Amino acid sequence: MRAEKYFQQIESKLGVAFNDKAVLLHALTHRSFINEDRDWREFGHYDRMELLGDAVLELTLVEFLFRNRPDYTEGRITGLMSDLRSGKFFAEITAALGLMNYVRMGNGQREDVKRQTGYNKMAADVFEAVVGAIYLDQGMDAARTFFLPFAEHKLLEIEKQGTSDYKSQLQELSQAQRLGTPQYKLQCVDGPDNDRTYTVAVIIGGYFYAVGVAKSSKDAEKLAAKSALPLFKAFFEQDE
C-alpha cells in the first residue's frame, strides 16, 4: 500500500489528521518489526508511546468522571477507572477501528496475531500508543476529543446494566471499616511477552485476602477484588 493511501485510511478511521505522520507511524510499529528490519531500528517502536498514552487516558478519564459524576464516591470512580482503562475495552476499540490491519510487525508476530495469541494485549497496547501519538502531535484537547466518545458510551452501558464494580465495592467496605484503600500487589507474570498471565493479590489492612489471575494486571485486580468481597464481608459480619 502506498504511504499516502496508508495514512489517509488510518486518519479517516481515527478522525484525526496528523501534522507529523512519523508520530503516527511510530505508534503503529511493533518491536518485532524493528528486530526483523534493522534499517528501522533508530526509528523505534511503540512501547514508549504506549506508556505516554496510558497516562493521557488516565488523566482524561479521572477528570471526566470528577466533573460529570459529582455524586460518585472515590471508590466508585476508582472502580469505573478500572473498567474504562481495561485492556479488554481498549482492544475492543482497536478492533472496531480496524487498527490492527495497519500495525507494522514482524512475520512471527503476525502469525501469532492470526492465531489470536496475545491479540487482546497487543490491540490494547496499540490503542494506548495511538492516543499517545495524538497527544504528541496535537495536544491534550485532541486526545480527549478522540477518546471521550468511546468512554462515554461505555460508561452509560455500565451504568445501564448496573454492572457490579467489585473494586469500588471492596474499597467502600474497607474504608467504612477504617482500613484504608485496598492494595493490589503484582505477584508474578508468567508466559512469553505476547501471551502473558498476571497474578495479583489484594491486601487490606496488612492482611492478604485473595488473588486474581488474568491476561492483564487490571483484569487480575478485578478478579482478586471479586474473590475478596465475600471473605471480607463474612469476616466483619462475624464481628458485628
Q: What is the pLDDT of residues 53-79, one digit of tens each?
A: 999 999 999 999 999 999 888 877 887
Let me know whether 86 and 143 are in one domain. yes
The grid coordinates listed for 161 are 446494566
CATH number at residue 201: 3.30.160.20
3-class DSSP state of 189: strand
Let me know whether 125 and 181 are in one domain. no
- Residue 137 catalytic? no
Q: Residue 203 has what DSSP assignment?
A: E
Domains in the chain, number = 2
Question: Which positions of the chain have pLDDT values less than 70?
Answer: 36-43, 116-117, 162-164, 237-240
Q: Is 111 annotated as a binding residue?
A: no
Let me know whether 137 and 178 are in one domain. no
CB-based contact 218:86 (threshold 8 Å): yes
Let me know whether 64 and 121 are in one domain. yes
- Cα separation of 84 and 63, whole Å? 13
pLDDT of residue 12: 96
3-class DSSP state of 204: strand
Q: Which of 138, 161, 184 represents a domain boundary (last residue)?
A: 161
Full residue range of the structural domain in which residue 222 is found = 166-239
pLDDT of residue 239: 52
- Cα separation of 78 and 236, whole Å? 23
pLDDT of residue 175: 86
What pTM value is reported for the model?
0.71
- Residue 92 catalytic? no
Let me know whether 72 and 173 are in one domain. no
Q: Which residue out of 83, 112, 128, 221 is catalytically annotated?
A: 128
Q: Is 47 annotated as a binding residue?
A: no
Q: Is 157 annotated as a binding residue?
A: no
CATH number at residue 80: 1.10.1520.10
Q: Which residue out of 4, 37, 42, 54 is catalytically annotated?
A: 54
